[in-house]
C-alpha cells in the first residue's frame, strides 16, 4: 500500500494494486477476499475512519490512512498505518508519537485476567497526558469474518466492556485520533498469550512519510 500511494496517483489505481497484492498472497499461500474493502481516507477525509477511495489523485502535502487485512480461509488480520505525502505538520508528527505511545501502553496491560476496560484505560490515560481525549472503543475481537465486517462483535475494548481476557483471544487493537479536519491511526492485530500479547504483524509502528 505504501508503494502504491503517491502524488498524482489515482486513489482507485492504488486500491486496485492493494486488492491484487492481497489476492495473490505469497508463494506458499494465496489470499482470500476481505470482509471490508480497503479503507483509505485521504486529506480531510482522514478525519473519518471508514471511507474508501475515489478516482481523484492523491494530493501532496496530505495524509492517507490505510486499513487493510490479510485474509486466509476468511480469517482476518487487519492492520492500519498512516502515510503522509510531503512534509507532515508538527501536529501530525506529535499525534503519531502519541498514538504509538498509547498503543504500546495498552498492549503492555493486555494479558489473561485483565479486562477489556483495562486495555482501554491504559490507552486513554496515555493520550490524555498529551491533551487528547477519546472515550470510544479502541479495538474489537477478530477471527472468522464475512462481509460486511471482519469484527466478531463479541468483545469491544472500551470503558463499559466487562470481558476478561483469556489466552488465544484475538483482537484488532485500533487506536486512532480523528479530529476536525485530519486524523491518524496506527493499529495492531494481536493474540492474547499465556503471559501477554503476540502481534500477528511485524511492521514498523510509525507515521510513514514519502
Q: For position 67, which CATH number holds?
A: 3.90.230.10
Does residue 172 belong to any structural domain of this protein?
yes
Q: Does residue 1 form part of some domain?
A: no
Per-residue pLDDT of the chain (210 residues; tens, 9 = 90+): 999 999 999 999 999 999 999 999 999 999 999 999 999 999 999 999 899 999 999 999 999 999 999 999 999 999 999 999 999 999 999 999 999 999 999 999 999 999 999 999 999 999 999 999 999 999 999 999 999 999 998 999 999 999 999 999 999 999 999 999 999 999 999 999 999 999 999 999 999 999
127 assigned to some structural domain: yes
Closest CA to 45 of 150, 184, 138, 173: 184
Q: Which domain holds residue 180?
A: 11-209
DSSP character string of 90-157: HHHHHHHHHHHHHHHHHHHH-STT-BHHHHHHHHHHHHHTTT----S--EEEEEEEETTEEEEEEEE-
pLDDT of residue 76: 98
Query: Considering the domain boundaries, does residue 4 fall inside one?
Result: no
C-alpha count within 13 angstroms, C-beta hemisphere, residue 1:
24
* Number of structural domains the chain divides into: 1
Domain assignment present for residue 6? The answer is no
Query: Model's pTM, two decimal places?
Result: 0.95
Amino acid at each position: 500500500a505504501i508503494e502504491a500511494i503517491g502524488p498524482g496517483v489515482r486513489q482507485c489505481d492504488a486500491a486496485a494494486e492493494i486488492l491484487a497484492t492481497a489476492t495473490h498472497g505469497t508463494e506458499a499461500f494465496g489470499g482470500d477476499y476481505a470482509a471490508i474493502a480497503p479503507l483509505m481516507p485521504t486529506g480531510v477525509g482522514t478525519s473519518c475512519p471508514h471511507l474508501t477511495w475515489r478516482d481523484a489523485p492523491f494530493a501532496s502535502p496530505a495524509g492517507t490512512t490505510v486499513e487493510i487485512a490479510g485474509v486466509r480461509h476468511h480469517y482476518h488480520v487487519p492492520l492500519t498505518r498512516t502515510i503522509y505525502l510531503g512534509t507532515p505538520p508538527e501536529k501530525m508528527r506529535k499525534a503519531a508519537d502519541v498514538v504509538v505511545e498509547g498503543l504500546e501502553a495498552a498492549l503492555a496491560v493486555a494479558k489473561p485476567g485483565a479486562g477489556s476496560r483495562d486495555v482501554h484505560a491504559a490507552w486513554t490515560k496515555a493520550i490524555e497526558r498529551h491533551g487528547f481525549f477519546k472515550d470510544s472503543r479502541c479495538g474489537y475481537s477478530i477471527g472468522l469474518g464475512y462481509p460486511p465486517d471482519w469484527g466478531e462483535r463479541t468483545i469491544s475494548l472500551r470503558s463499559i466492556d466487562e470481558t476478561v481476557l483469556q489466552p488465544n483471544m484475538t483482537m484488532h487493537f485500533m487506536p486512532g485520533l480523528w479530529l476536525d479536519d485530519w486524523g491518524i491511526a496506527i493499529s495492531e492485530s494481536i493474540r492474547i498469550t499465556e503471559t501477554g500479547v503476540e502481534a500477528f504483524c511485524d511492521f514498523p509502528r510509525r507515521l510513514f512519510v514519502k
